[in-house]
Amino acid sequence: MLLAAPPLQAPDLRSDLDLTIEELVRLIDLADDLKRNPASYAHTLDGRYLSLLFEKPSLRTRFTFDLAIQQLGGGAVTQIGPIGDREPLADIARNLDRWTNAIVARVFSQNTIEELARWSRVPVINALSDLYHPCQILADVQTIRERFGRWEGLKLAYVGDGNNVAHSLLLNAGRLGIHVAIASPETHSPLPEITASAREAGVEFTLTPDPREAVDGAHIVYTDVWASMGQESEALERQRIFAPYQVNAPLLAAARPEAIFLHCLPAKRGQEVTEEVIESPQSAVFDQAENRLHAQKALLLLLVR
């Protein structure tokens, strides 16, 4: 059993950069041990409780956080629906921090995460916002190291919308020594402020409008849906824009022979990825989904007191 102490330097996980590179590695080491030896950690968070706030629908995030705290000895209370409509976020945070030991929020706006963290005395965990998806990328980098035994020297090609997943891949996978190549239309590239933060953190990355250039020689090929939750009205236009960015067998063949395919799920088969690719032996999407549980257990052990 690995020791979870010392706790993380930052009181919250609002964005990927709240984790230092040393903490990120320690967290993944802990996640690996939790996966191998779950019974050793069965009572480590006895009597601790999570507030789970979901403005967006969720399968993996909701189940894995709920199961994570239960398997560590605690419990969770879930609210689904808009946050901050009936009362100010400041009041919500100051109620929840008196009843529970952490607040996990899956929201439309990063501002909601920031406001909850501003007022809460217990850790606030960003379970997805418009800017970041840090919990997903924890599972991703755990999966990558399981498959390749390392991070340094690998190339990850992300193909599609330069969204919250692309942002978090830049900030976390990039800091671990993975070269991140993002192929997206120029109108849907990662935000300049995110790429600036990545450069400041010493991340080496490539931005290109050409999917084949990004995928050439890649160890990991990654994509996400073309229209995220809240973008339903743009779905048809996005299908037109992103059609050249579909991950299909010919595109995957441009990667290394040992390359794996990742997707944060849910996937729209036949749009951003073909059935042939997601069901191929190269697909690691369900290992990736499983690791949400283990990585989030590690995060809770390092944040919740």
Q: Which one of the listed residues 14, 106, 147, 263 is annotated catalytic? A: 106
In the structure encoding, which two tokens stand for residue 168, read together?
């978090």
| Residue 229 CB contacts under 8 Å (≥ 6 apart), including other chains | 56, 57, 108
Q: Which one of the listed residues 48, 60, 238, 292 is annotated catalytic? A: 292
Q: Among 217, 220, 209, which residue's Cα sits nearest to residue 176?
A: 220
Active site residue 224: yes
Q: What are phi and psi of 5, to 5 degrees?
A: -75, 155
Q: Which one of the listed residues 71, 136, 246, 271 is annotated catalytic? A: 136
Q: Which one of the listed residues 133, 145, 179, 219 is annotated catalytic? A: 133
Active site residue 46: no
Active site residue 33: no
Sequence letter at residue 101: N
Active site residue 136: yes
CB 219, CB 255: distance < 8 Å: yes
49 beta partners: 75
d(CA 112, CA 303): 20
Active site residue 264: yes
CB 195, CB 205: distance < 8 Å: yes
- DSSP letters, 77-93, are EEEES-SSSSS-HHHHH
Q: Which one of the listed residues 135, 264, 288, 296 is annotated catalytic? A: 264
Q: Which one of the listed residues 32, 224, 263, 296 is annotated catalytic? A: 224
Q: Catalytic residues, which ones?
A: 106, 133, 136, 224, 264, 292
